[in-house]
Amino acid sequence: MTKHEEREYVLGTNDEELVRLGFQHRVWGEQAFALWERAGFAPGQTILDVGCGPGFATLDLARLVGPQGRIIAVDHSARFLDHLKVQLATQGVKNVETLLQDVKTLNLPSGSIDGAFARWVLCYLGDAQSVVSAVAKALRPGGIFAVQDYFNYRAATLAPKSAIFTKVIEAVDASWRARGGDSDFAGRLPGMMQQCGLEVREVRPILRVARPGSALWDWPTTFFRNYIPVLVEMGLLTPADQEEFNSDWSQHSADSATFFCTPPVFDVIGVKP
Ligand SMILES: C[S@@+](CC[C@H](N)C(=O)[O-])C[C@H]1O[C@@H](n2cnc3c(N)ncnc32)[C@H](O)[C@@H]1O
């Protein structure tokens, strides 16, 4: 994949982002497993992992469905899929099929899957409706589309409040919108699911609080470290903003009285009647 294609997806697909996604799955894995359980993902099923990235959730899904089940893992990043293929080979996992494809062009046979999972993917797409529609078509009757994505991203807050933190969150939001994404995507998803013939079974928020020194605190730390230079490159922040943020974040990181409220992530479950 060329540098240009990698940049089309706003967070990029470089090595630092790959490592960050692995860490992110460790701190958000419990929430993914809880969603899969409520979605009824089970041994023997065929599950589509939409925008699987380097496959950290894919590998857990592969273990969940077991040798009789199958995971179809789709992403447009060859680099991420190569990482997944190495993991599959070294761990001897044989029930995952990888597809190098833009998810907007998905066209799986009707009724061919039991479920689909999409975490932090649809919010980056200009045209998520085509993906929801393709998933709805591919699900068998009774099949489930389980999504984890953002709504009200700007609610991410540092306490006590910090003006530079708020400025950075607004710049992140603006950068996604500049590339056609929608940081409030989960708010539109129930309507999209209904338009595609899915019944919305559940809409549930996940709001988490991280305190300095915890693993969850390092989640925004790694994100800001990788992404603020991109925001400066895009002209959404100045180098002076970057310096001010770094110093502010370091001070908060050393203050046990501070806390960080994660941007609200929503679980949305759609069922094919
Ligand atoms: C934030 S990552 C999330 C990865 C994975 N779902 C997870 O939760 O770990 C977003 C992923 O979406 C992929 N992506 C973004 N736009 C895409 C598109 N149009 N087609 C296929 N994959 C896409 C990126 O390559 C990246 O792997």
Residue ranges and CATH numbers for the domains of the chain are 3-271 (3.40.50.150)
Task: Say what the pTM is.
Answer: 0.95
Nearest CA to ligand 1 atom 14: 51
Pocket test for ligand 1, best of 8, 15, 75, 79 (most atoms within 8 A of CB): 75
Pocket test for ligand 1, best of 76, 87, 104, 172 (most atoms within 8 A of CB): 76
Give me the pLDDT at residue 233, please.
95
Q: Which two tokens stand for residue 121?
A: 């993917």
Nearest CA to ligand 1 atom 27: 53
Residues with C-beta less than 6 Å from any ligand 1 atom? 9, 11, 13, 21, 25, 51-53, 56-57, 75-77, 80, 102-104, 119-121, 124-125
Distance from Cα 98 to the centre of ligand 1, integer Å: 13
Q: Is the separation of the CB atoms in 13 and 51 below 8 Å?
A: no
Long-range contacts of 244-249 (CB under 8 A, 24+ apart): 244/164, 245/164, 245/165, 245/167, 245/168, 248/162, 248/164, 248/165, 249/165, 249/221, 249/224
Region of residue 147 (left: phi > 0; alpha: psi -120 to 50; beta: else):
beta
Distance from Cα 130 to the centre of ligand 1, integer Å: 15
3-state secondary structure string, 3-28? HHHHHHCCCCCCHHHHHHHHHHHHHH
Q: Along the chain (273 residues), what's the average pLDDT of each consecutive run of 10 residues?
A: 51 84 93 98 98 97 98 96 95 97 96 98 94 98 98 96 97 95 97 98 97 96 93 97 97 97 98 98
Q: Is the separation of the CB atoms in 134 and 118 below 8 Å?
A: no
Q: Coil, strand or helix: which one is 103? A: helix
What is the C-alpha to C-alpha distance for residues 262 and 158, in angstroms, rounded to an integer? 9
Give me the pLDDT at residue 8, please.
56
Residue 82 parent element (H or E) = helix 78-91
